Amino acid sequence: MSSDTIRLEIYDGPIQEDDPDANFKRDVASYTRVDPMPTIETMSRNMGIPVGVIARYILVKWATSGSEGVMEMGPRVVRQMAAIVEEAERSGNDSRRLEAYKKLSDIISWLNVIP
């Protein structure tokens, strides 16, 4: 079993522009500059829930949010959306990317109608 102890660190790169994860890494660098502990400690104090429990809840909630989203939408819809983006990116053409945006917008509008 892995340790339940983690060290909160600040990420500052390096981030290469051609890295396929560059956007995520920039987001990580931005968010890790903020100390989450004052908020977690306040929640702990106000709700009477230990700090570690709240931190674990936050981590699990975030880590599983992608899976929950897929379950709500269905894997078929997610694959369709991914295929639209992949095709547009492979083309390298801005007008094809704009078409992909419209297709994704239509799918999202349709998903918002589903109860």
Domain boundaries, given as residue ranges, for the chain: 74-115
When pLDDT is cut at 50, 70 and 90, the band that residue 48 belongs to is: very high
When pLDDT is cut at 50, 70 and 90, the band that residue 114 belongs to is: low
Tell me how far CA of residue 83 lies from CA of 78, 97, 100, 108, in angstroms: 9, 12, 10, 15
Whether residue 11 contacts residue 24, with contact meaning beta carbons closer than 8 Å, is answered with: no
Instruction: Give pLDDT, residue 35.
Output: 95
pTM: 0.57
